Amino acid sequence: MTGKTKFSWSFVLLIFLSLLSGCSVSHTSNPDKILVSQDSPIFDKRFEAVSLKDINLDNFWDHGDPSDDREPVPLDNHTFSRITEKVKQAVVNIYTIRLEERDAKFGIAPNDLLPIRIPLVSAILDIVPFQVPIPYKEEGFSLGSGFLINREGYILTNAHVISNSVNIRVVLSEGKIEYPAKIIGIDRMTDTALIKIEPDFSPTVLPFGDSDKLKMGEMVLAMGNPLGFQHSVTSGLISAKERIAPHSGDRYTNFLQTDSAINPGSSGGPLVNLYGEVVGINTAIIEQAQLIGFAIPINTVKDVMGMLIIGKTERGWFGAQAAPITPDEALALKYPEPEGMIIKGVEKDSPAEKSGLKINDIITQFNKEPIPNLAILRRKLLALVPEQEIHLTIFRDEKTFEVSSTLAHKKPAEEVEAEPAS
């Protein structure tokens, strides 16, 4: 990489002051805080006047083979190398300079005034808050991965890879030329982001597969930039599907779990099946565990792609809480089907209440499509925006009827506590 991190005189000043006044520096407790607004030059605003209904995504990415009767991929000692050779041309390394917020604590610690530490007295003085925390921002350096999905230079990655970036550089598999990139859209709720370079070549792109068709035990490959080792590939299995996020911030994404090694720096890289199709975006690890990695299903990305393109990710609010119906509930409500979502709560003055929904109503279809499980419903809700109309098929009192409603903007308190459009 040819770019260098900008020198931070504010950081030098803080170090100097720390020598004079007992200053200490630490990370703040909220690393997900947004420090760079969408007015920053790092954001590409070409689609800011476009609405979701104006977008046609049919040809925005390449589609894999959707058939159910595909020939299985034969395995030999070169199977993975053939797939890797084809896929790696579209995998990129992403280097960013980003804003980070830290706390500088100014003041003289009481124990610094004592010539020696006196056990009882020093222990008491250690808890006295004589130092005052003063937050400040400085530039840091990070790395991650991504992959090309469009011949015009659009790249998918994780939101946390490019969050708070002020400078983004993309390096292709050859590692010789870097390209500046801008952010098209970023969605922290699903940890996805779309960035763009201006290529002076015809890039290789990766087709999207169907993550819903993955099976436990199916073989996959993960590619990325783990720990700075450029364009590495690991193999493994789909260990599980529809996993709840391994940390509390990801409330609405059900992950693919894989034992293919995913290390820091691999985030944003593709998880591909043996047909060379992307089935997920490598995104999370549990640091204390081994061979447990997570990826965002590519079908989730398909659903939120329109939001990423226009750079607007506010979700619509419906104001109803639902859960999968249990056999006992179905028996009590005389519901004859094995699948459905039962309404557990309806918020006052919400679109759900205005549409006439009640507790114990059963949702059998969403926008004319069946809902086989909660994971599919959550994914559909992720793509809904304010002012969007939805159609529900409801079972109540042994009768089925249709309900239509228009989603609203959430109030600030609701944005924190309510799930999107649920």
Active centre residues (catalytic): 160, 191, 267
User: Can you tell me the distance from the alpha carbon of 74 to that of 82, in angstroms, rounded to the nearest whole number?
Assistant: 12
User: Can you tell me the distance from the alpha carbon of 404 to that of 41, in angstroms, rounded to the nearest whole number?
Assistant: 40
Cα–Cα nearest to 155, from 179, 134, 132, 121: 179
Q: 133: buried, middle or exposed (CB in 10 Å: 19+, 13-18, 0-12)? A: middle
Pairing of strands 178-187, 278-285: unpaired
User: Can you tell me the distance from the alpha carbon of 226 to that of 2, in angstroms, rounded to the nearest whole number?
Assistant: 20
How many CB atoms are closer than 10 A to CB 62?
Answer: 14
User: Can you tell me the distance from the alpha carbon of 139 to that of 117, in angstroms, rounded to the nearest whole number?
Assistant: 37
Cα–Cα nearest to 52, from 311, 237, 230, 317: 311
Angle between helices 374-382 and 298-310 (to 10 degrees): 10
Distance of CA 16 to the CA centre of its chain: 39
User: Can you tell me the distance from the alpha carbon of 297 to that of 212, in angstroms, rounded to the nearest whole number?
Assistant: 8
Q: What is the DSSP letter of 43?
A: B
